[in-house]
Amino acid sequence: MDIINETRLWKTINDLASITVENQPWTRRSFTAKYNEGREWLKNQMKDIGLEVEVDEASNVIGRLIGREPNLPPIVIGSHTDTVPNGGRFDGIAGVLAGLEIVRALTEHNISIRHTIEIVDFTAEEPSEYGLSTVGSRAWTGNLTEEMLAYTNSDGQSLADAITYAGGDPAHIKQCKRENGSIALYLELHIEQGPVLLRRNANIGVVTGIVGIQRYKVIVDGLPNHSGTTPMDMRNDALTAASEMILALENVANREFEQPVVGTVGVINNFPNASNVVPGKVEFTIEIRSISEEVIDAVGNEFLSQVKNIASNRDVKVKTENVSRSASIVISNEIKQLLINSSSSITDKVIELPSGAGHDANQMSLLGPVGMIFIPCKDGRSHCPEEWAEKEDLYVGTKVLLNAVLAFSK
């Protein structure tokens, strides 16, 4: 069924992407004014179609098209509209707006299906300034704890306050929790964020599994002192100790395991961060990713052990905090086949591949079956201003998603 409006879909992508921080394309960090502006635009788009629009306690934006049998669990199509700093135009928003185009096409062609469809912009899928990712989908699965709501940004503002600013109600966050079996199917379209589809000349990737992600915060306390008068062998330098710890993570993650694994430090804060002061305190965040939960644990445990030894050898104090864990998932053969079959009338350039990036689908798998499809991105690049997907690929991916919805809801 070819009812997707390619031109309209492309326009919505560019309209939302254009809501960005000035001179910093394409940036809509979660819990900022630009993020809220983009979500107001999205809510208006949903209302124009006639969807029921809700902002839940976790500030997730939900547009609901009621099905013929509203007592059935809904089909959820979702992703996110927040970005990393200097992010791209397609990561996240392609999935939300593909869903929006699907319900728009169904309504304008008077096509009703059995299941209610929920289009969801999940809150803060990207790692936020509060050290946590997949905030909105965590709330749906009950994995957004009181401790997490108390996480703070560099200004001391809590995540709970940030959710309130985004229109949520963290005091009643448990009310948006959903139970296992409460959704019929979760679907997400996403740019691949890698080069595999391009290298294999494919325009649809059916995702076979999604990595789990473990994040730790490491706090190293040394002794700040004058850089000119403190001899090298009498220093308690927090930054050099942290640097050795970071290299230890690289060393551990480079070892051979039964499944591929990566370890990354992407956030470092040095105090007092002055050129003439021996650093007295360093905070950094690590993440470990793998399809295998056992490999994640093995790397994490070895890293934490080495951190303690390094702290002892360098006479500094260290504290580690378990920030978050997203379990890896394996997509069921039934849902993979649904997506392969949904592609067959549109393209024969379909491959299967795992996702090295985490997604809201990790959390949603706790509520019901999930499926993801990837479309190519230029040069395999993402999380950068140069991120790009072709209009035709986005169109093809959305048609595959529509076919899957119609086939599933027969």
Instruction: Kindly report, residue by residue over 304-319, the tens digit of the pLDDT.
Output: 999 999 999 999 999 9
Whether residue 367 contacts residue 120, with contact meaning beta carbons closer than 8 Å, is answered with no
Whether residue 81 contacts residue 28, with contact meaning beta carbons closer than 8 Å, is answered with yes
Whether residue 94 contacts residue 191, with contact meaning beta carbons closer than 8 Å, is answered with yes
For 152-173, how does the pLDDT look when each residue is reduced to its tens digit (9 = 90+)?
Answer: 998 999 999 999 999 999 999 9
Q: Class for domain 6-211+328-408, per CATH? A: alpha beta
Q: Name the pTM for this structure.
A: 0.90
Helix (H) or strand (E) holding 317, with range, is strand 317-326
At 156 the pLDDT is 95
Tokens representing 170 are: 């963290």
At 1 the pLDDT is 72
Mean pLDDT of all residues in 13-33? 97
pLDDT at 27 over 80: yes
Tokens representing 27 are: 């940036």
pLDDT at 375 over 80: yes
Q: How far apart are CA 204 and CA 181, in angstroms?
A: 28
The CA-to-CA distance between both ends of the chain, in Å, stands at 14
Cβ contacts of residue 309 below 8 Å, gap of 6+? none
**Would you place residue 13 in the very low, low, confident or very high pLDDT band (cuts 50, 70, 90)?**
very high
For the chain, give the mean pLDDT. 97
Same fold, 6-211+328-408 and 213-326: no
For 230-286, how does the pLDDT look when each residue is reduced to its tens digit (9 = 90+)?
Answer: 999 999 999 999 999 999 999 999 999 999 999 999 999 999 999 999 999 999 999
* DSSP at 193: S
* DSSP at 212: E
At 71 the pLDDT is 97
Helix (H) or strand (E) holding 36, with range, is helix 33-49
pLDDT at 87 over 90: yes
Tokens representing 78 are: 């979702």
CATH of domain 213-326: 3.30.70.360
Domain ranges for the chain, please list them.
Answer: 6-211+328-408, 213-326
Mean pLDDT of all residues in 41-64? 98
Burial of 155 (0-12, 13-18, 19+ CB in 10 A): exposed
- Of residues 2 and 48, which shows the higher confidence score? 48
